[in-house]
A and B are shown apart, each in its own frame.
Chain A
């Protein structure tokens, strides 16, 4: 397994963590090390256990079996209010009866060592960091979604936790604002240097923001890797399908030689089968952007295949073609940039496709 490990000593460390709700097995043996200052994402479909795992780290759920260490200390029996973690909730959980400043200052209530002025300075600093200058006296319930998100961030970061836990913090925002907040969160994380653990079901969000990503299915980590490895070398067809789009074609595997339905012969390197090289019947995966449609005048590359356009989707900057390769049953998706002077094919057109064996991933 190509599990990347971080260079710094782990600040969060889970070993054989199981969680049962009655007979429901929510976490099935999770082993995980998260480094100091990492932006780490837990990615998976709903019900995969990613939120349970986050709440376990926060201390809202106890673990049924296994150990959880936070900066080397066993967290068994340590409640959430005594842990060096803070959380940004999916609903933001802004206290509606308090002002923005009172919300942000909430965590400082128990800090007897700080006087009123020192607390005020910390609040101002946190507000500024979250881009909420001058919002202090506002009533919390009158804020927009993006502003609530910022208040939640400032409130959680004012305590300078070792780990900031974010439970789908961007899912309630519209697309534009979400993209803006993704950038801001990433910048904020680099600025404060605190470990962020983000729970998300949005693979694009995870790829954009994370240093490393754990993909979870059914309470288990299916793959743990950095974004590029995850995208290029998914361990299984399921992971590949979850991260971006991937086409699958049946293939006969003989050592490093493949005979792929619709594409033809190919030779692959061992690292192109991250889940292990099958022998006999297998599948290959190929990303839409690693194939292209050949037009008149294009140089003819080594590896080509022929097929027919059965469907297409025009996105403005890109066109996605569904091409049924000759002698295959399910079409593959090919994405093409709409360059100047390049024509868009129509449904029913014959298409000649170029591909590259280096971009293949082999699955069982």
Chain B
């Protein structure tokens, strides 16, 4: 068989990548507190227990709120930066854009510690908004990277044509630019939401009295009897992410088909 070795490698790779995720639902429905084979029986009680763990519900809420705000903020900032980068020439453009992208390669622990130092030095209280701040900082470069390609693929004469036909700069942006880069915006929202939702280090350093989900889970790992509930929650989250990603991909493909572009990537 042609490429036999590579094929086996690819399969092993996929198994290694996804086997742990497959274990998640298996143990979420397993009627035992100990995470081990053989399975003892089918149950949904771990799912039923999720609402009875107020701290868990609270942390999910906190995380989702932070992730939504982070996604919106970093995508808006990303749109501004990507558009400026694609459309305008200004002094020190390359260094400025370079510095904006820096958090992408900066160790998160350094970002987290330095933010903590600054916030404490300013005497500000830690809380949800400090986490949003930190997450926006690390998510924005991702959004810019995604949106850069969306804006760069845009024919500049499209905006000129709309302007030439009597529209203002703002209505041109709303009627032409925005719909055409919408797939990129959806991608940016989704990526930054996901990054924020499962980010641990910055959240751990900057969170106040209300922990985010990863921080809460990390705390719960010391109590083995709580692990099946965590597994149940994990199962729900995986299912939700798959659904979300599928929807986003459908929108992205539809957008590309509508704009007549060539499909050059995506999630699925």
A residues in contact (CB < 8 Å) with B: 58-60, 79-81, 85-87, 89-91, 93, 95-97, 106-107, 109-110, 139-142, 155-156, 159
Q: Are A80 and B157 in contact (CB under 8 A)?
A: no
B259 within 8 A of A: yes
A340 to B176 alpha-carbon distance, docked (Å): 60
Option from A85, A96, A106 in Cβ contact (under 8 Å) with B180:
A96
What mask results when residues 151 to 184 of chain B are scored 1 for a CB within 8 Å of chain A, else 0?
0000101101111111110000000100110000
Residue in B158, B179, B180 with the greatest tally of chain A CB atoms within 10 Å: B158
A106 to B166 alpha-carbon distance, docked (Å): 9
B222 within 8 A of A: no
Residues of chain A within 8 A of B155, CB atoms compared: 91, 93
Option from A59, A81, A97, A107 in Cβ contact (under 8 Å) with B179:
A97
A92 to B157 alpha-carbon distance, docked (Å): 8
Q: Are B259 and A106 in contact (CB under 8 A)?
A: no
Q: Are A81 and B157 in contact (CB under 8 A)?
A: no
B residues in contact (CB < 8 Å) with A: 155, 157-158, 160-168, 176, 179-180, 258-261
Q: Are A89 and B160 in contact (CB under 8 A)?
A: yes
Q: Are B160 and A96 in contact (CB under 8 A)?
A: no
Q: Are A89 and B180 in contact (CB under 8 A)?
A: no
Residues of chain A within 8 A of B261, CB atoms compared: 96
Least distance between B252 CB and chain A CB atoms (Å):
14
Q: Are A95 and B160 in contact (CB under 8 A)?
A: no
A58 to B165 alpha-carbon distance, docked (Å): 11
The 27 listed contacts between A and B (C-beta, < 8 Å) are: A58-B164, A80-B160, A81-B165, A81-B167, A86-B164, A86-B165, A87-B161, A87-B164, A89-B157, A89-B161, A93-B158, A93-B160, A95-B162, A96-B258, A96-B260, A97-B259, A106-B162, A106-B165, A107-B166, A109-B166, A110-B166, A141-B258, A141-B260, A155-B161, A155-B165, A159-B165, A159-B166
A179 to B166 alpha-carbon distance, docked (Å): 31
A89 to B259 alpha-carbon distance, docked (Å): 18
A80 to B172 alpha-carbon distance, docked (Å): 13
Least distance between B196 CB and chain A CB atoms (Å):
30
A89 to B180 alpha-carbon distance, docked (Å): 19
Residues of chain B within 8 A of A110, CB atoms compared: 166-167
Q: Beyond A91-B155, A93-B157, is A81–B168 a contact (Cβ under 8 Å)?
A: yes
Option from A59, A80, A95 in Cβ contact (under 8 Å) with B176:
A95
A140 to B158 alpha-carbon distance, docked (Å): 13
Residues of chain B within 8 A of A58, CB atoms compared: 164
Option from B163, B167, B259 in Cβ contact (under 8 Å) with A96:
B259
Option from A85, A86, A91, A156 in Cβ contact (under 8 Å) with B157:
A91
Least distance between A83 CB and chain B CB atoms (Å):
8
Q: Are B258 and A139 in contact (CB under 8 A)?
A: yes
A324 to B237 alpha-carbon distance, docked (Å): 85
Q: Add 17 more A-B contacts to A97-B180, A141-B259 (CB < 8 A).
A: A60-B164, A79-B163, A80-B164, A81-B166, A85-B164, A86-B165, A89-B160, A89-B161, A93-B155, A96-B259, A96-B261, A97-B179, A139-B260, A141-B260, A142-B260, A155-B165, A156-B165
A315 to B257 alpha-carbon distance, docked (Å): 45
Residues of chain A within 8 A of B179, CB atoms compared: 97
Residues of chain B within 8 A of A106, CB atoms compared: 162, 165
Residues of chain A within 8 A of B180, CB atoms compared: 96-97
Residues of chain B within 8 A of A156, CB atoms compared: 164-165
A110 to B179 alpha-carbon distance, docked (Å): 19
Least distance between B2 CB and chain A CB atoms (Å):
38
Q: Are A107 and B260 in contact (CB under 8 A)?
A: no
Residues of chain B within 8 A of A79, CB atoms compared: 163
Option from B164, B176, B259, B260 in Cβ contact (under 8 Å) with A81:
B164
A140 to B259 alpha-carbon distance, docked (Å): 9
Q: Are A109 and B167 in contact (CB under 8 A)?
A: yes
A113 to B69 alpha-carbon distance, docked (Å): 42
A117 to B180 alpha-carbon distance, docked (Å): 28
Residues of chain A within 8 A of B162, CB atoms compared: 95, 106
Residues of chain A within 8 A of B168, CB atoms compared: 81
A91 to B158 alpha-carbon distance, docked (Å): 9
Q: Beyond A95-B176, A96-B259, A141-B260, is A81–B158 a contact (Cβ under 8 Å)?
A: no
Least distance between B161 CB and chain A CB atoms (Å):
4
Option from B157, B166, B259 in Cβ contact (under 8 Å) with A90:
B157
Residues of chain B within 8 A of A96, CB atoms compared: 180, 258-261
A159 to B161 alpha-carbon distance, docked (Å): 13
Residues of chain A within 8 A of B161, CB atoms compared: 87, 89, 93, 95, 155
Least distance between A166 CB and chain B CB atoms (Å):
12
Q: Are A95 and B167 in contact (CB under 8 A)?
A: no
Tell me the nearest residue of chain B to A59, going by C-beta: B164
A194 to B55 alpha-carbon distance, docked (Å): 73
Residues of chain A within 8 A of B166, CB atoms compared: 81, 107, 109-110, 159
Least distance between B150 CB and chain A CB atoms (Å):
13
A107 to B180 alpha-carbon distance, docked (Å): 19
Least distance between B116 CB and chain A CB atoms (Å):
45
Least distance between A249 CB and chain B CB atoms (Å):
45
Least distance between A102 CB and chain B CB atoms (Å):
10
Least distance between B249 CB and chain A CB atoms (Å):
19
Residues of chain A within 8 A of B260, CB atoms compared: 96, 139-142
Least distance between B179 CB and chain A CB atoms (Å):
5
Least distance between B175 CB and chain A CB atoms (Å):
8
A142 to B179 alpha-carbon distance, docked (Å): 18
Q: Beyond A139-B260, A141-B260, A142-B260, is A95–B163 a contact (Cβ under 8 Å)?
A: no
Tell me the nearest residue of chain A to B161, going by C-beta: A93
